[in-house]
Structure formats: structure tokens, C-alpha cells
Structure 1
Amino acid sequence: MRSEGGGAGTGSAAVVSRRLRAAVLLACLLLAAQALGAPRIGLVTMEPGEAYWARFGHNALLVDSGDPQEPVFYNFGYFDFDQPGFLLRFLRGEMRYLAVALPMSSDLGNYAAEGRGARLQWLALEPEQAQRLADALAEQVRPENAEYRYDYFVSNCSTKVRDALDAALGGELQRQLDGRSEGATYRFEALRHGAGVPWLLAGMHFGLGPYADRPLSLWEQSFIPARLAQALRDVRRADGAPLVIAERELLPHRGPDAADAPPPMLLWALAAGLLLAGLLTVALRSRPAAWFLLLFWSISGAVGLGMLALWFGTTHESAWANRNLLLANPLSLLLLPACIGLLRQGRHPRESWLRFAAAALAIVAVAGLVLAQVQVYPQQQLDWIALLLPAQLAAALSLQRRRSGA
């Protein structure tokens, strides 16, 4: 990539000049901070870990008040599986996380043991901004203030750090990031980070509704720790100087890396969907038909019932109005008694009801395909349509063929 001057030497000189200015600015700020007794502030970004809850990475703020006191990590990512009612609150979307302050060596030691890399960005805050931020963080970790309601997308370890920085900067961070976008969505970011854990990838992809598919501003996208670190490199202070004035690696990374994009799933889903449809078609020609229907509609109905509970019974807004309900329809559970009767008797007086209901479920699933093309509240669900729609159609058509004796 060439500079506007057209020569490589010009570009190199510009880079050296920027680095020199950043070094001078850092030295001036350090001298001013020492003179006023203000701390140095840095953002520390940790790479993803092996555990599923660590797949998105992590952020913390480092506050260095000078010797002899060890620098402190302010960390908003602590939770306890053994906390009373944790599972119930998790299901309801009311998880409680903690903000904690730990010595730098102690917190870094945990990430080093997990093989997770860490990178420090020193921030060019004015002394009064740095002190205001340090005081706010110290207040946040007091026992009466430390607990907060966690949300995957809008209130997590990275957004709490982002908001604290923005408050110290007088709103300048949000002003510079809120009007810019790369077109990424919550789903895009979630799936690329969950790609290494198949059950996590599938669960997030199926469970996220239209909320997760709108384009995000850089401000919103900074719910991902590495995205916040990336965005800060382009942020400028009120005087035009860069906010990030120095970076260095604290720990080498030996764990998994986040994928650049979610894995392509459409062709695999279509192949699996056609295979499932074929199995249903073959099975419905013989006595085991009811077993296949019972299994298919039991799983489909149970999953749909769970999604319905997420919509109306929890605060998981990202799961509301999920159009995958048209594919995994909770009404499938109403067909189970007829399937059981069919299993016991070979044929059943309510088999006509079964055929009608299966046709209705298939029509509803086809409606999901139509709605997937609508750009009002769009939802990325073609992968699941490719997987489940062929099976719904196969069940309905095969039951109709049984009636005709084909």
C-alpha cells in the first residue's frame, strides 16, 4: 500500500515521525502524571481460551499508580457457578457478574497458566481524566457496587471497560465510534468466536433471533474485547493526538485463535437435511414409521418449546421473535399421541388428523422460507431452513402417500 506521496521512503518517514510524536507525547504525559500524582491507565486484552466461556477473549483496565505499589487490574468478568441460584438466573437472563481489583501479577498468572496471550495498550489520558477513571474504578469494585447484571452483548467485561473509558473521556469515545460500522452483526461475531465448539456454535446460531442480525456500529461491536482494542487505535483525543500511544505484549498466546468469519454451513446443512428427508421417506413406507415421526417431532417440539420459553419467559432479548420457531414448531408435540397410537396399532383412527397436522407444519415451515427473504427484521436462518424444511416436507408427503396406499 503506497502513500499519497507515491514513494516508499515518504511512507517510512511518516511512520517514524508518528512514532516519534507518540513517544514524546507519552514522555510528557508520564512527567505530568508523576508531577500531579495521577496514575497511568492501560487497556489489557486477553486472547480467547479453550473453555467455552473464554472463547470471546477478555478485557481489563490496568491502573499503575507508581512504585512501590503493584499495578492493579480492574476486571469485570468474574462469576461463580456455585453462586446460589446461578443456573436459574442464567436461564432467565439475569446473570450477576462481579467487578474485582487484583494485583497485576496475580491476574496475569491465571491467563499465563491457560496459555492465553495478553497485550497492553497505554492510553494517553490527561492526568485529571486518569485520576477520575481510577477513582471510578475503585468505587465500582467496592462490595456494595461490584455486582452487575450481565448481558452477552450489551453489558459484559468489554462493554464495562469501554463505558468506563468513555466516561473518563467525557463521551468522546462513543462520539467517534457510534457513527462508524464495518457491517458486522452480533451473530457474525458470536459464530466466528464459537466456531471451535460445535455445540456452542449450533446453539447460538439456532437460538439467536432477528436482534442479532442488524449491522453494528464500532461502539456496539466493541462488546468483543479484541474489537475494542482495535477500535481504540483509531481514536483521537480532543487535541487530535492518538489515544493509544504505546503497545506491548505481556503474554504470548498458545491457545485457540478466533476465526476471521463464521464457518460456511449452508451446503452441509442442505446435505444433512436431504439425508434426513430420505430417511423419513423410507421409514414411512414400513411399520417403524411411527418411531421416526415420534423421534423427529419430539425433538422438534421440545426445542421449539424451549425457544418459546426464552421469548416469553426470560430477558434474553437476542432470542426473542426467533423465526426458527416455524421450523422447530412447539405444536409438533400435539402430534405425539397419534404417533403413539400408530406405533401400537399399525394404523390409527386419528391418522387422518396426523396427515392434516403434518401438512400444516410443512406449510408453516415453507412460510419460514418466504419470511427469510423479507428485509424487515431480517434473520439469518437459511442454514436451518436447508436442514429442517426437507424433513418437514418429507413427513407430510409420505403420510399422504400412506393414505393412498402408494
Structure 2
Amino acid sequence: MTLASRLLLTLALILCGACVPAWADISNASGAELEVSLITYGPGDIYWERFGHDAIELRDTVSGEEVNFNYGVFNFDEKNFFLNFARGRMHYLIDAEVTTDEEGFYKQAGRSITKQRLALTPDQAAALRDFLLWNLRPENAVYNYDYYIDNCTTRVRDALDRALGGIIKARLTTLPGGMTYRQQTVRLMSAQPWLMLILDLGLGPYADHPLSAWQESFLPEELQMTLRDVTVSDGHGGMQPLVQNEDLLAPNHLSVPPATPPDLRIPLGLAGLLLAVLIVLAWRRAPIVYALLGNLYLLLAGTAGLLMLLLWTLTAHHSAWANANLLLFNPLAYALLRPLWRARRDNPPSRFANGVLLLQLIALLAALLLHLMPGVVQQNQPWILFALPCWLALAWTLRQNKAA
């Protein structure tokens, strides 16, 4: 069964209420009979699996029934799904499955499974169970997904925090995170280099703010690690770890994401320098190649800028708003396509084209100065290093035609 078919089947079961009897023991058990665990699944091979996944497991210690609750279901067949995705208005759902079925899927995919048994009181366990079952109702199941602040892991985290009376948030907000949203995204997507570069280019300053451990726990593995630092009352005036024990239920059989994000400054800087050298050499020796190479760069720069502008003005993807890379790549590049194509025959640029070129060089200088100013948040050094030599090479060759 494909992933899409599996998701649709799950959705149908939820909406029809056909699966309610499957956890009758869980719904009727007393809090003292419930055991609560956090289940963490390692990253998968497909790009949407790279961030990992998790679930809350409720186990009836009397009947042995185990049910996994997770917030990671989406439906490709939803009306306007791809349009909503482009607009940043994605709809996800909570799901509940028998633990063995859920874990079997991830074992077959070769993804790791870790189980952390949590120290909840009977009242807290019962409250968590009641909230999850309430959330599972069709009228409550759907939520507006956000990559960083409202996803399948933050929903799991918030449900546990709610049951524990805010203890998790109180603890994790006092701890600094290890990376920013950008660094975590680049690190986890590094196995798909082109997608990693597209995401890094499209992220604005929102992705570079320092995070607390609470914010960084948008990732399953980060939540798994940070919960080890949380303590709760032991009921006798003392404190005990929230995580009572931790077991690796299935090892990882896939490539492991790097511990740190790759440094994109050197590869992108070298790529920009190489492209600039090729543009200059082609201008001297192969005018048609020069025109094709330059127009390819301008076309990509204009398209990237147009997409970044649309993300900022027409979508709810707030992590892409106010992107300083618009100073490097923007729709102004389209206005230089024809002048550069004509330059292969030594035709000088028009006054309008010179004005556009000057405006772009001013924007390039602004991007550089903005980055050097203290207190600037967005970390786009790699793209500055890539764009700077390319724009200078294009400007120099066009101006040389005018001088000729």
C-alpha cells in the first residue's frame, strides 16, 4: 500500500468513526491503568520524512492494549491541496493507530524507533487520554500546519505539556537551543542538495533568530533529547526525571543526517566565482555562449526573486517574509535579458538597461552593507558570495560593450 493510500484509509476511518471500538480499553481505563510514552521515529529517505516523526503512546496495563496518537496525517486529495500548500495553508490531522501497526510501518522503512516512558500521575494520564480522544473527533481533528511552530511534533509536545500543567514549557524556555531554524533545515535536508539550496535561499530572517530549547523541540529528536532534562514531582516532596526509561525499539537502517549543518559559503562562493570567470571568458572568445550563459543566470535570478516576492506578499509562509536575498535576485533581472542577448554582437545597452543595471548594483551593495551592519539577523552570506562575482562580471562585460 502506498503512503497516500495509507493516509486516505486512515482519514476515512477517522471520519467514519469506524476505529473507535479499537481502543475501547484505552478510553475506559482509569488513569492508574494508563502508561504514557513518547515514541520517536528517525528521519526517512523521502524529503518530507527528513525531519522525523513522533507520537504519544497510551498503554492499558491491564488489557495490554497500546494505541499511538500522532498529528502527522495529510490528504493529497483534499480540495485545493496543492494551492493551499503553495499559500502556506496546509491542513493536517490527528490519527490513532494500534502501536504494532504503526511501528511495523516504520520498521519496514528502516527508520529508528525510540520509546520513552513518561512519569505522569494517574490524573495527568487520564487528562491526556481525554484530550487526545476529544482531539480525535472529526470536528477537532484538523489543524493548520506550520513547519516550525505548529507541526506534528509541537502538537505532541503541547499535549504532554498541557497534561503536566506547563512543566515542559517552563523548563525548556529557560534552556538555549543549539541551532536556528535555518541551520536545522539545512542540516536535515543536506541529503537532497538542490532542495536544501532552494529552502536556504527562500528562508528569510525569521529562520535565523536564536531559539530556546522549547522552540527547537519542533523536531522529534530534539524533543526526545530535551525531555531528558525535565523533572516532575515524585509525589513524596521530591523530584524525579520525566523520562523514566528509554528503549531503542528498532535501529536505524538509513543514512543519518549530519550533526551540524554544512557550511555553504565556500561551495556557493566558488560556484559564483567560477560562473563569473566563465562569463568573462565567454564574452571574449564565444559571444553566443556568453549570451546564453548570462541569460541563464538572469532568468534564474529573476525567477527566484519573483518567487521570493510572491512568498512574501501572497502567502502565509512567514519564514520566507522580508527575505534579504531579494536584493541579490529579483525580477529586475528580466529587464536585462534582451540587452545581454544583443551584447553578443557588441551592441551597447540602452539607457534604460544601464539604469536597471545600476539599480541592481546598488541593491547588491545594500545587501553587502546590510549584512555587515551589527544586529542584522538574516544569515545569507553564501548567497552574497555567489551573486556578487556574477553580477560584477555581467556589469563589467555590458559596460565594456558600451565603451567599445
TM-score normalised over the length of structure 1: 0.87
Shift of 1:113: 1.1
Q: Is the 8 A contact 1:120 1:248 kept in 2?
A: yes
Shift of 1:200: 2.1
1:364-383 CA distance string (max 9 Å, x none) = 11221111122334111111
Percent of pairs with identical residues: 40
> Which amino acid in 1 is paired with 2:246?
E
Counterpart-to-counterpart distance in 2, 1:351 and 1:279: 24
Shift of 1:347: 5.1
Matched, 1:80 2:79: no
The match for 1:145 among 124, 131, 140 is 140
Shift of 1:135: 0.7
What SS is found at the alignment partner of 1:148? Answer: strand
Q: How does 1:349-360 map to 2 (within 5 A)?
A: 350-360=349-359
Shift of 1:363: 2.6
Label 1:212 to 1:35 Cα distance change in 2 as closer, same or farther (>3 A): closer
Matching residue of 1:112: 107
Matching residue of 1:44: 39
1:205-253 CA distance string (max 9 Å, x none) = 1111100001100000000101101011110114421101111121121
Counterpart-to-counterpart distance in 1, 2:149 and 2:364: 32
Matched, 1:321 2:316: no
> Which amino acid in 1 is paired with 2:287?
R
What SS is found at the alignment partner of 1:233? Answer: helix
Shift of 1:36: 5.5
Q: Is the 8 A contact 1:213 1:380 kept in 2?
A: yes
Q: What is the root-mean-square deviation in Å for CA atoms of aligned residues?
A: 1.9
Matching residue of 1:331: 332
Label 1:146 to 1:35 Cα distance change in 2 as closer, same or farther (>3 A): closer
Shift of 1:256: 2.1
> Which amino acid in 2 is paired with 1:208?
L
Matching residue of 2:400: 401
Matching residue of 2:382: 383
Label 1:93 to 1:375 Cα distance change in 2 as closer, same or farther (>3 A): farther
Counterpart-to-counterpart distance in 1, 2:358 and 2:293: 16
Q: Is the 8 A contact 2:33 2:62 kept in 1?
A: no
Q: Is the 8 A contact 2:346 2:401 kept in 1?
A: no
Q: Is the 8 A contact 1:294 1:340 kept in 2?
A: yes
What SS is found at the alignment partner of 2:305? Answer: helix
Counterpart-to-counterpart distance in 2, 1:385 and 1:159: 33
Report the more deviating stretch, 177-186 or 43-52. 177-186
Report the more deviating stretch, 91-100 or 285-294. 285-294
Unmatched runs of 5 consecutive residues or more in structure 1:
1-33
Q: Is the 8 A contact 2:343 2:401 kept in 1?
A: no
Matching residue of 1:287: 287
Q: Is the 8 A contact 1:362 1:389 kept in 2?
A: no
Matched, 1:210 2:205: yes
Counterpart-to-counterpart distance in 1, 2:266 and 2:295: 27
> Which amino acid in 2 is paired with 1:99?
I
Label 1:141 to 1:291 Cα distance change in 2 as closer, same or farther (>3 A): same
Counterpart-to-counterpart distance in 2, 1:244 and 1:381: 39
> Which amino acid in 1 is paired with 2:57?
L
Counterpart-to-counterpart distance in 2, 1:314 and 1:185: 22
Q: Is the 8 A contact 1:99 1:147 kept in 2?
A: yes
Report the more deviating stretch, 252-261 or 52-61. 252-261
Q: Is the 8 A contact 1:62 1:71 kept in 2?
A: yes
1:120-157 CA distance string (max 9 Å, x none) = 00000010001000110111111111111111100111
Q: Is the 8 A contact 1:42 1:120 kept in 2?
A: yes
Q: Is the 8 A contact 1:298 1:336 kept in 2?
A: yes
Matched, 1:362 2:388: no
Shift of 1:320: 0.4
Matching residue of 1:176: 171
Q: How does 1:6-405 map to 2 (within 5 A)?
A: 37-68=32-63, 70-238=65-233, 239-285=238-284, 286-288=286-288, 289-339=290-340, 346=345, 348=347, 350-405=349-404
Q: Is the 8 A contact 1:211 1:317 kept in 2?
A: yes
Matching residue of 1:20: none
> Which amino acid in 1 is paired with 2:276?
A
What SS is found at the alignment partner of 2:375? Answer: coil
